[in-house]
Amino acid sequence: MTDLWSDRAQAYRESATHASGDDLDLVVAWCEPGPGVNVLDIATGGGHVARRLREAGAKVVTVDAAPGMEPDVIAPADHLPFADASFDAVACRIAAHHFPDALAAVKEIARVASDRVVICDNTFTSESAEEADRLRDPSHVRNYGIPEWHTFFELAGLEVVDEAALVRDTDFEDWLDRTETPEADRPRIRELLDSRIRDGRLELPTVVLKGTKAP
């Protein structure tokens, strides 16, 4: 799977959907970056979160399981090679739906954070939408509902202190091209997601959660 993501690296670096957006602005703001602030960016992908955090003055370490994403450290989210409380903040944006064990990853993220955790991901809408995501990209594991995310945070010893539900959108064909979805599967994906496609753009329900270590 890491070779697959290495092959996709340039597409994610160039992705307009990943390079900007209200969700990206929130992730950066809630990490509270600035001089002297150390942040870990999990599953950095195209590096957009890390770039914005560095622009705000933070010192950032990037992690990704795929070497082609050119992270500072190559590691999966559920086995982070860092000591407890190594970072002031840990961020993870639009990646957790690919993790084999999302709860294990959240626990690891909480372990290496000394103060705050910010996670952003697409949210569960229906089983038909999950089928579409798996057709589009076999590396998709699952989107989680907001109540599930609260459970993950609680089990990881995190208290949710900020939360925002929003809708990102992306060009539908670009979304398929980014993962090189076979042409034969595209009509079925469009059929499954028809209610969320408007003028060629796909609506992506998303949640951003900020947690701090529970007292």
**Could you tell me which of 166, 152, 168 has the C-alpha nearest to residue 211?**
152
Query: Quick one: pLDDT at residue 33?
Result: 97
Phi-psi region of 89 (alpha: psi -120 to 50; beta: other; left: phi over 0): beta
Predicted model pTM: 0.92
Model pLDDT, residue 67: 87
Helix axes 146-155, 102-112, angle to 10 degrees: 50
User: Tell me, what CATH number does 90's domain have?
Assistant: 3.40.50.150
Is residue 64 included in any domain, yes or no?
Answer: yes
Is position 193 within any domain?
no
55 C-beta neighbours (distance < 10 Å), count? 10
Give per-10-residue mean pLDDT for the chain (215 aa): 60 64 95 97 92 96 90 96 98 96 98 98 97 95 98 98 96 92 96 96 97 86
Tell me the residue type at 203.
Answer: E
Residue 37 dihedral angles phi and psi, to the nearest 5°: -95, 125
CA distances for 210 relative to 6, 22, 140, 202, 213, angstroms:
29, 15, 23, 26, 10
Beta-strand relationship, 201-213 and 197-198: antiparallel
Domain extent at residue 54: 2-124+139-170+203-213
Task: For residue 184, give the H/E element and its range.
Answer: none
Residue whose token pair is 């950095």: 44
Position 189 in a domain: no
Burial of 140 (0-12, 13-18, 19+ CB in 10 A): middle
- Please report the pLDDT score of residue 66 as a whole number: 87
Residue 36 forms part of a structural domain = yes
* 3-state SS, residue 206: strand
**Type of residue found at 93:** R
Query: Is residue 167 within a helix (H) or strand (E), and if so which, with residue range?
Result: strand 158-171
- Domain-embedded: residue 113: yes
**Beta-strand relationship, 113-122 and 87-93:** parallel
Is 210 exposed, middle or buried, given 0-12, 13-18 or 19+ CB atoms closer than 10 A? buried
Backbone angles phi, psi at 87, to 5 degrees: -130, 145
- How many domains are there within the chain? 1
pLDDT tens per residue, range 9-49 = 566 666 667 766 899 999 999 999 999 999 999 999 888 99
3-state secondary structure of 120: strand
112 lies in a domain? yes
